[in-house]
Amino acid sequence: ESDALVANPEASLRTICDWLGLLFDSAMLQWPRGPREEDGIWAKYWYERVHASTGWESPAEERSIDSNPTLPKSLKPLLQEVEPIYDQLKRKSII
């Protein structure tokens, strides 16, 4: 669940760092564009948007399951089954 993090990165990261007992560093808010050595061999498939970014930003498009009109009907029962579990986890969020 990244909505809170993307909506207010500094406050969210400060909360996470505090919870983990780490010091917040403002360098967490911005980074240089491009790949990193530690990204690994799958980076070009997984990190295209990250490599193009220089900081936290909202996604260009909505990616929620509810807004996806192409969600197969066969998956709706699975969504209904896992949604309560997701809601339980979300209630425990620290941000």
pLDDT at position 67 is: 60
Write down the pLDDT at residue 58. Answer: 80
Output the pTM of the full model: 0.72
pLDDT of 3: 87
- Residues of the chain with confidence (pLDDT) below 70: 59-69
What tokens appear for 93 in the block? 């969020």
Chain-centre distance for alpha carbon 62: 13
pLDDT given at position 71: 77
For the chain, give every domain's residue range: 3-91
Tokens 């969210």, residue located: 12
